[in-house]
Chains A and B, each alone.
Chain A
Amino acid sequence: MTTAAIEVKDLRKSYGRHVALRGIDLHVAPGSVLGLVGPNGAGKTTTLRILLDLLRPSGGTVRVLGQDPRKGGPALRKRLGYLPGDLRLDGDPTGRAVLAFYARVSGDVAPHRAEQLADRLGLDLSRPVGALSKGNRQKLGLIQAFQHDPDLLVLDEPTSGLDPLVQRTFLELVREARHDGAAILLSSHVMSEIQHVADEVSVLADGRIIAQGDVPSLRRGAAQRISAVFAETDSDTVWDQIRRLPLREVVLADEPDGVHLDALYDGDLDALVKTISHLTTTELSIEEPDLEDAILQLYRTQRDPDRKTKPVDLVALAQKAAGK
């Protein structure tokens, strides 16, 4: 059996009386990307820093590339690539000097690898790091994480400060690393970057994983947004027809062109289509929820941090929604 790149069980972390992690489980296989999503203060950075042995857990077990990070030492961390969430670089050394230093201490950097990455990300390595803009510092941070082709990449808010074009290059780099067998754990509160690259997502809120599964499931598990216009009727008639459907946040308005419906729909499409077939539908749009919507909905339903509930199994949820 292949050793998991990350295997975390019942991980807990407290800072004095403040509880940051309330027992989380994570599993990342080699050659896969796990997205850790959550709002600020959910415990994403704490989790990532424990994997790097920058913080020590208060409880639970952590295995990174099969080893305990506390015991793995520098030899283990040479096999990791890490981008801190708040990367600050100061001083006179050039980007090239900083990368050469980390190449020396983490070893095994292919010749010209740093230059190639800098070209792709559009970074001038001859400038002093203290003079770099936030975006350029972030690019340098990505290069130092990727340049030694680590077995595991741990990236905290990796696209923060990057323009959309560079974000695309970053996603390419992640896919290439995954293709080469690396495992990638990336955290974000920007759902779109997870949506495009993660194989699986774990949703973290208040130090607990409230949902986990693959991205399509997460999206399917969330309500769809329905907009429709029904002609030759009034809102009371429409409401009589649709009120048994699992709708939320329903807005019905009588307009000159008909009744406008706007709502979130939790059920399967067949029931909806059959129900509105009795009405004259002139416009209908059913939007797949984006990940952002899906996660916001999860946050709303899982507010209580002390609630001892199992994480939502997104695959099961999606199957249920699809009526299987």
Chain B
Amino acid sequence: MLRRELRGSWRATLLWSLAIVGILALYLPLYDDLVTGDMQALLDSLPPQLVQTLGYDDLTSGAGYVQATFYGLMGFFLITAASVSWAAAAIGGHEQSGRLELDLAHGIGRGGYVLAQTEALIIRVVFLVLVGTVTILAFNGPADLGLELGPVLVASCALAGLALFCGVWTLLAGAAIGGRALSAGVGALVAVVSYALNAVAAQNPDADWIADASPYSWAFADAPLEGGVPLADQWPLWLFVVAFPAIAMLALRGRDLRG
């Protein structure tokens, strides 16, 4: 079933990959021009709250630039959107299309179904993050980004964890309630709230609880691209990635399938 799922979505995976490479190919070569130009003067002229909200407070270092443009913004939105749309199709979408009914009428168990869909989701999201990572590393030298391999991998892992965090919320909503649009809505809401809480936390450095409540902050608040952030710090994200599919299995087992 995992193979069928991956085969069935290879075109979408390819298009998402092209979008990621295209965005990076657009942004990364601009870095050199920005540092040599009047970027810092421009940023200094902007209201500090706006700069913090956009995550542009360290735009003049390679790590800060790649974090602000890709990991914290376009990469986050693109890969999270892919994750949520795949997860919404996985249970809620396939239930609406009738495929889930036919699958479960054969020798496929509900638990096994959720497990295979989770594996397919993780493989595709990790693949997209890998495409982004390889592209960034390819531009590292030519664009003079000055990134090191270790921190790039830690940041990529955080991005994958964050996109999957939104994906497993979507998956759980599909398993517990059903409906493609509804489960996609849950995933999108989780992504937006995470991002918004992080932006609010950036403006209120004293209110730690806001950052603590934002999965976006769990991934990126310590600026993993700059180095010195251990991989283990991402455990809360990955805890959800493991726990939610397990809960989704129980939820799908316990309910009627919609006709």
Question: Complex Cα distance A78/B104, Å?
Answer: 10
Closest to A70 in B: B253
For A84, list chain B residues within 8 Å (CB).
Answer: 98, 101-102, 105
Determine whether the beta carbon of B257 is less than 8 Å from that of A55.
Answer: yes
Which residues of chain B from 180 to 234 have any CB-CB distance to chain A below 8 Å in the complex? none
Q: Given A74-B112, A92-B8, is A52 in contact with B98 using a C-beta cutoff of 8 Å?
A: no
Question: Complex Cα distance A80/B104, Å?
Answer: 11
Contact with A along B23-60 (1 / 0, CB 8 A): 00000000000000000000000000000000000000
Q: Given A49-B257, A49-B259, A86-B259, is A78 in contact with B97 using a C-beta cutoff of 8 Å?
A: no
Closest to A75 in B: B107
Give the interface of B toward A (CB within 8 A): 1, 4, 7-8, 97-99, 101-109, 112, 255-257, 259
For A45, list chain B residues within 8 Å (CB).
Answer: 259
Chain A interface extent, by class: 20 to 34
Determine whether the beta carbon of A77 is less than 8 Å from that of B107.
Answer: yes
Give the interface of A toward B (CB within 8 A): 15, 45, 49, 52-56, 73-75, 77-78, 80, 82, 84, 86-93, 101-102, 105-107, 144
Ordered by A's residue number, 16 sampled pairs between the chains whose C-beta atoms are within 8 Å are A49-B259, A55-B256, A56-B255, A74-B107, A82-B102, A82-B105, A82-B106, A84-B102, A84-B105, A87-B102, A89-B102, A90-B97, A93-B8, A101-B1, A102-B102, A105-B103
Closest to A100 in B: B4
Closest to A79 in B: B107
Q: Given A74-B108, A78-B107, is A54 in contact with B8 using a C-beta cutoff of 8 Å?
A: no
Question: Complex Cα distance A107/B257, Å?
Answer: 24
Determine whether the beta carbon of A87 is less than 8 Å from that of B98.
Answer: yes
Which residue of the partner chain, among A15, A77, A101, contacts B105 with CB atoms under 8 Å?
A77
For A52, list chain B residues within 8 Å (CB).
Answer: 104-105
Determine whether the beta carbon of A77 is less than 8 Å from that of B97.
Answer: no
Question: Complex Cα distance A74/B116, Å?
Answer: 15
The residue in B99, B101, B104, B106 that gathers the most chain A C-beta atoms within 10 A of its C-beta is B106
Question: Complex Cα distance A53/B113, Å?
Answer: 15
For B256, list chain A residues within 8 Å (CB).
Answer: 15, 54-56
CB distance from A92 to the nearest CB of B (A): 7
Determine whether the beta carbon of A105 is less than 8 Å from that of B105.
Answer: no
Question: Complex Cα distance A84/B8, Å?
Answer: 22
For B108, list chain A residues within 8 Å (CB).
Answer: 74, 77, 105
Determine whether the beta carbon of B97 is less than 8 Å from that of A54.
Answer: no
Determine whether the beta carbon of B104 is less than 8 Å from that of A106.
Answer: no
Determine whether the beta carbon of A88 is less than 8 Å from that of B98.
Answer: yes
Q: A75-B107, A89-B98 are in contact. List 5 more A-B contacts (CB 8 A).
A: A54-B101, A86-B98, A86-B259, A101-B1, A105-B106
Determine whether the beta carbon of A105 is less than 8 Å from that of B1.
Answer: yes
Determine whether the beta carbon of B104 is less than 8 Å from that of A54.
Answer: yes
Question: Complex Cα distance A144/B98, Å?
Answer: 14
Question: Complex Cα distance A93/B7, Å?
Answer: 9
CB distance from A177 to the nearest CB of B (A): 17
CB distance from A181 to the nearest CB of B (A): 20
Closest 3 CB pairs of A and B: A82-B105, A88-B98, A78-B107
Question: Complex Cα distance A128/B98, Å?
Answer: 17
The residue in B97, B101, B112 that gathers the most chain A C-beta atoms within 10 A of its C-beta is B101
For B4, list chain A residues within 8 Å (CB).
Answer: 93, 101
Determine whether the beta carbon of A80 is less than 8 Å from that of B259.
Answer: no
Determine whether the beta carbon of B105 is less than 8 Å from that of A91.
Answer: no
Closest to A90 in B: B97
CB distance from A25 to the nearest CB of B (A): 22
